[in-house]
Structure 1
Amino acid sequence: MYTMPIAFKLQPMNKSRYTIRPQSAVILPLATLSVEINYILPPNSSLPETFPHSKDSFLLHSVVVPGAVKDASSTLDSIPIDWFATRKKQVFIDSSINVIFVGSSILSYLVSKGSMDEIREVLEKSDPSWHACDSIDTQGQTLLYLAIAQSRPDLVQLLLEFEPDIGARNQSGCSPLETASGAGEVLIVELLLARRARTERSESSNWWPIHFAAAGGHLEVMRLLLLKGADVDSKTEDGRTALHLAVEEYHRDCAKLLLAS
Structure 2
Amino acid sequence: FTLQKETPLANAVFWAARKGNLALLQLLLNSGRVDADCRDSYGTTALMVASYSGHYDCVKELIMQGADINYQRETGSTALFFASQQGHHDIVKLLFEFGASTEFQTKDGGTALTVASQYGRSKVVDILLKNGANVHDQLNDGATSLFLAAQEGHVTVIRQLLSSGAKVNQPREDGTAPLWMAAQLGHSEVVKVLLLRGADRDADRQDGTTALFKAALKGHHSVIEELLKFSPSLGLLKNGSTVLHAAVLSGNLQAVLLLLGANADPMLPNKVNIDYMDLKDRMRKKKHLNRLLFSYILHTFYLPF
- TM-score band by shorter chain is 0.5 to 0.7
Say whether 1:255 aligns with 2:290: no
Contact 1:180 1:188 in 2 (8 A): yes
Structure 1: how far apart are the matches of 2:228 and 2:153?
23
Cα pair 1:215 1:242 within 8 Å, conserved: no
* 2:265 pairs with 1:231: yes
Aligned counterpart, 2:160: 121
Preserved contact between residue 110 and residue 119 of structure 1 (Cα < 8 Å): yes
Using the TM superposition, give the Cα deviation of residue 138 of structure 1 relative to its aligned residue in structure 2, in angstroms.
4.2
CA–CA distance in 2 between the matches of 1:40 and 1:108? 19
C-alpha displacement of 1:39:
5.8
More strand by share: 1
How many Å apart are 1:100 and its aligned residue?
A: 4.5
The more displaced of 238-247 and 150-159 is 238-247
d(CA) in 1 for partners of 2:156 and 2:187?
14
Which protein has greater RCO, CA pairs closer than 8 Å, 6+ apart? 1
Structure 2 residue aligned with 1:102: 135
Match of 2:184 in 1: 149
CA distance in 2, matches of 1:195, 1:55: 34
The residue type paired with residue 168 of structure 1 is A
Quote the Cα distance in structure 2 between the aligned partners of 1:184 and 1:114.
17
Given that 2:103 and 2:133 are in contact with CA atoms closer than 8 Å, whether structure 1 keeps it comes out as no
Aligned to 2:4: none
Q: Normalising by the residue count of structure 2, what TM-score does the alignment of the two structures yield?
A: 0.53
- TM-score normalised by structure 1 residue count: 0.61
Q: Quick check: 1:147–1:155 contact (8 Å CA) kept in 2? A: yes
Distance in 2, matches of 1:198 and 1:185, equals 17
Give yes or no for the alignment of 1:245 onto 2:268: no
Deviation sequence 1:102-124 (CA, Å, 0-9, x none): 12521122222322211110101
Letter aligned with residue 47 of structure 1: T
Report the Cα offset of residue 56 of structure 1: 7.5
Separation in structure 2 between the aligned mates of residue 46 and residue 206 of structure 1, nearest angstrom: 36
Q: 1:48 aligns with which of 112, 119, 123?
A: 112
| Aligned mates of 1:39, 1:138 — CA distance in 2 | 23
- Residues in 2 aligned to 1:42 and 1:228: alpha-carbon distance in whole angstroms: 46
Instruction: Give the distance between the partners of 2:128 and 2:252, measured in 1 at CA.
Output: 50
Provide the secondary structure at the position in 2 that maps to 1:248.
Answer: helix
More helix by share: 2
For the aligned residue pairs, the C-alpha RMSD in angstroms reads 2.9
The separation in 2 between residues aligned to 1:55 and 1:189, in whole angstroms, is: 35
Question: Which amino acid letter does the alignment assign opposite residue 182 of structure 1?
Answer: L
Gaps in structure 1 of 5+ consecutive residues? 1-13, 15-37, 58-96
How far is 1:134 from its partner?
Answer: 0.3
Say which SS state the counterpart of residue 268 (structure 2) adopts: coil
Distance 1:46 1:135 in 2: 17
1:92 alignment counterpart: none
Please list every run of 5 or more consecutive structure 2 residues that lacks an aligned counterpart in the other structure. 1-69, 71-100, 118-124, 137-142
